[in-house]
Amino acid sequence: MPETPMIKIDHVTRAYGAFKALDDASLTIQKGEFFSLLGPSGCGKTTLLRMIGGFDNPTSGTIYLDGQAMNGIPANRRPTNMVFQSYAIFPHLNVAQNVAYGLKRLRLDAVEEKRRVEEALGQVSMAHLGKRGATELSGGQRQRVALARALVMRPKVLLLDEPLSALDKKLREQMQVELRKLQQAVGITFILVTHDQYEALAMSDRIAVMFSGNIAQVATPKDIYQRPVNRQVADFVGGMNFVAAEIVGEDSGTITVETTSFGRVKTEKPVQFVTKGKAATLGIRPERLRVLWDDATDKYEIAGKVVDRHYFGEITHLIVEVPGMEQPLSVSETNNFGADDIPVGAPIRLAYDPDALVALAD
Amino acid sequence: MTIAAEGKPDDSAQQAGRPALLQSEAAQGIALISPTFLYALAMLAVPILVTFAHSFWTQNYMDIDRTFTLENYRIALTEPIYRDLLWRSLFISLTVSFVTVVLAYPIAYYISFHGGRHKGLWLFIITIPFWTSYLLRVMSWKVILGFNGVLNSGLMALGIISEPSTAFLYNTNAVIITLTHAWAAFAILPIFVSLEKVDRTLIEAATDLGDGAVRRFLRVTLPLSMPGAISALMIVMIPTVGDYVTPRLVGGKDGVMIANAIQAQFGKAANWPLGAALSVTSMVVVTAMAGATVFILRWAARQAR
């Protein structure tokens, strides 16, 4: 991907009285990137998206769009378009009229306008439904119309405000794949706001994880998941076992810690890591712990006892109590080998890869 | 959950004990509206039928000749005096309703979009004129528009006119001004309700797609609040055609409307059948005019897209 910045968020703050919805955030989004703003409700992700779209203004700081400062430029003059959470389909217009809404201002000739509307409806597989009334659409269809209505404007940046949250699970997963495909086909920069970690991981080139007005980490989905910078990110994106540890050695790039259950571990130091005394936290994902069956052994293993079991169809979550650990470990194992049949109370041995252990800032 | 589950058998037992008729929702609905319905039937439908019947009869000095005749309708539709009065009434009510809606719309818009926390207070303030009687409000317009009235003294004090004008009172304009004021609140409320129902995200979406304030109003807010504007128009138009008090008090000779003529037939002229025929005629004409207005506005709204 060519590294040309499309959006630059430069020390942007949005305050409502004493409350800062967004606190001195800086961020660069590349051209043609599928970028997600991920975080719990109230973290400032929607505020940031609305400021990029021009529906809200920064209290301080500047947003640059394709090199141009956007301060004071209203939403109707920005090269951005938005897919609203509620889709905001005009109820008094049919599908084709909805899609053509923004084109009217461009005063295209009728043939060209029709061609662009049909092209946009084609892109979202709605070509045959142009005459359908806005009130006769299903949730998924409304979402597609909203998408076509924004894409037909050929924006530099497409803003998506939780576009899939109103759809049922099956349709949501299908739309995730379609949205990703569509973004790759049109090559427009997409910025997606979501609170659904799986959605962000599945679709994005990069993700910014946000908490209470701050950007905690910006990285690829894989890095966000495997190398979270702190406990909060690790906990929000997927499940994580936290292990108390003691720092025994530290240099510029790595730290070495001592734990009761996982022994001595040398691991990469996260960027924002600040040492506070000797205490540290290690994290390991539940699926990076593997059940050792029968007589199998591993170089790295720990032993414990199953205290609870949750069945999820393709996987089972085993809650394993390990002597010397405060919190029991959560283990996610596929059911291929019969993890769903391990009785509660049974002794168990688990294998792990020391590379899967990450040091986490608090 | 447990409590609800235990409660259920009791409920159904109780329901089974009631007469079957009361269990159906339709029956309950009818039972609920029947007092009002019967009252409306007795006080509205029956008098209309009586009026309708009278319009085909003839006044024969003190008695009514009950042989069928269309003579009353011939008079109502061909006599210049009644035709003119009907036209004037329609003109006045059409003007009043359009002016009222045009004036009420911005107020409703302001309350709905900029009323903030004080929407309730604003609506309350609008109802304040209704704390006095309709008659008093009409009379106060007499004070404002009269020969020695507020308007004339004001204009004279400002040096705009040198002597009191008689152009304000006792004519059609006076009737229009008074009726517009009297009906304003009735027009504001339905428009306000329909503006409240306009999803604000739609306006953001229009902005996002490039519309400025005027265009998004014309393309989204106005068409979506059209049902409210149309009902406001109807609410004002239909009763004002038959208004009797206002033309009587401020209309003078030039402001007389059809209702005054109808009153004269039932009163001094003592020709009930002709009065009835005039009533029926104006009812039919009002219905036609209201229907035509709705049709034209809907058509115009479709063209505007």
Confidence of residue B2 (pLDDT cuts 50, 70, 90): very low
Q: What is the structure's pLDDT at A321?
A: 93
Average pLDDT over residues A297-316: 91
Decide if pLDDT at B21 tops 70: no
Structurally, how many domains does chain B consist of?
1
Min Cα separation A151/chain B (Å): 10
Chain B residue with the nearest C-alpha to that of A103: B209
The two tokens of residue A198 are 């799986």
Within a domain: B270: yes
Do A88 and B199 make contact, defined as CB atoms within 8 angstroms?
A: yes
| Domains present along chain A, CATH in parentheses | 5-226 (3.40.50.300), 239-360 (2.40.50.100)
Sign of torsion, CA B287 B293 B296 B298?
negative
Q: Which residues of A touch B305 (CB under 8 A)?
A: 92-93, 97
Q: Compute the nearest-CA separation of A5 from chain B (Å).
A: 22
Please say whether the beta carbons of B185 and B130 come within 8 A: yes
**Quick one: what percent of chain A has pLDDT higher than 70?**
98
B129 within some domain: yes
Query: What is the Cα–Cα distance from A305 to A293, expressed in whole angstroms?
Result: 14
Averaged over A304-324, what is the pLDDT? 92
Q: Best of B194, B201, B202, B209 to disrupt the A interface by mutation (most A CBs within 10 Å)?
A: B209
**What is the percentage of chain B residues whose pLDDT exceeds 90?**
45
In a domain, B233, yes or no: yes
**Is there a domain that residue B161 lies in?**
yes
Q: How far is A340 from chain B (nearest CA, A)?
A: 30
Q: What is the pLDDT of residue B10?
A: 47
Residue with tokens 């009761």: A260
Alpha-carbon distance B300 to nearest alpha carbon in chain A (angstroms): 14
The pLDDT of residue A90: 96
Mean pLDDT taken over chain A: 91
Lookup result for tokens 């970028």: A35
Instruction: Specify the CATH number for the domain of residue B130.
Output: 1.10.3720.10
Average pLDDT, integer, range A148-164: 95
The confidence band for A272, taking pLDDT boundaries of 50, 70 and 90, is: low
Nearest chain B residue (CA) to A106: B210
Name the B residues in 180-199 with CB < 8 Å from any A CB.
199
CA distance B135 to B286: 24
Residue type, A192: L
Whether the per-residue pLDDT at B7 is higher than 80: the answer is no
Domain for residue B135, yes or no?
Answer: yes
Reported confidence tier of residue A276, pLDDT bands at 50, 70, 90:
low
Model confidence band, residue B61 (pLDDT cutoffs 50, 70, 90): confident
d(CA A236, CA A228): 10
Asked if residue B35 is part of any domain, the answer here is no
Task: Indicate yes or no: CB of A84 within 8 angstroms of CB of B199.
Answer: no
Given a contact cutoff of 8 angstroms between Cβ atoms, the answer to whether A121 and A127 are in contact is yes
pLDDT above 70: percentage of residues in chain B: 92
Among the listed ranges B63-72, B96-105, B111-120, B187-196, which one has the minimum average pLDDT value? B63-72
What is the tally of helices (H) and strands (E) in chain A?
Answer: 8, 20
Say yes or no to pLDDT of B150 above 60. Answer: yes
Which has the closest alpha carbon to A346: A289, A293, A286? A293
Amino acid at residue number B194: S
Structure confidence at residue B305 (pLDDT):
61
Check if the beta carbon of residue A91 is closer than 8 Å to that of residue B206.
no
Q: Do B210 and A55 touch (CB under 8 A)?
A: no
Residue B15 domain-assigned?
no
d(CA A266, CA A281): 13
With beta carbons under 8 A apart, name residues in chain A contacting B204. Answer: 55, 75, 82, 84, 88
Asked whether residue B66 is assigned to any structural domain, the reply reads: yes
List CB contacts (< 8 A) between A149 and chain B.
205, 209
Where residue B304 falls among pLDDT bands split at 50, 70, 90?
low
Distance, in Å, from the CA atom of A111 to the CA atom of B288, rounded to the nearest integer, reads 41
**Which domain, by its residues, includes B130?**
49-304
> Would the ipTM clear 0.95, i.e. be above it?
no
Q: Distance between CA atoms of A245 and A261, rounded to whole angstroms?
A: 10
Contacts of A150 in chain B (CB under 8 A): 208
Q: Mean pLDDT, to the nearest integer, of B218-247? A: 91
Pairwise CB contact (< 8 Å): A84 & B204: yes
Q: Give the max Cα distance, chain A.
A: 76
Per-residue confidence band for A50, with pLDDT thresholds at 50, 70 and 90: very high
Residue B1, pLDDT score: 39
User: How much is the pLDDT for A275?
Assistant: 66
Is A348 in contact with A316 (CB distance < 8 Å)? no
Confidence label for A103 from pLDDT (cuts 50, 70 and 90): very high
- Contact check, Cβ <8 Å, A74/B211: no
Residue A63 has pLDDT above 90, yes or no: yes
Q: What is the mean pLDDT of chain B?
A: 87
**pLDDT category of residue B9 using cuts at 50, 70 and 90:** very low
Residue B219 pLDDT level (bands cut at 50, 70, 90): very high
Of A55, A101, A105, which is closest to B204 when you measure between CB atoms? A55
Q: Which residue has the higher pLDDT, A306 or A360?
A: A306
Per-residue model confidence (pLDDT) at position B17: 52
In 3D, which of B82, B69, B86, B108 has the Cα closest to residue B190? Answer: B108
Which chain A positions have a beta carbon within 8 Å of B208's beta carbon?
53, 55, 75-76, 80-82, 102, 150
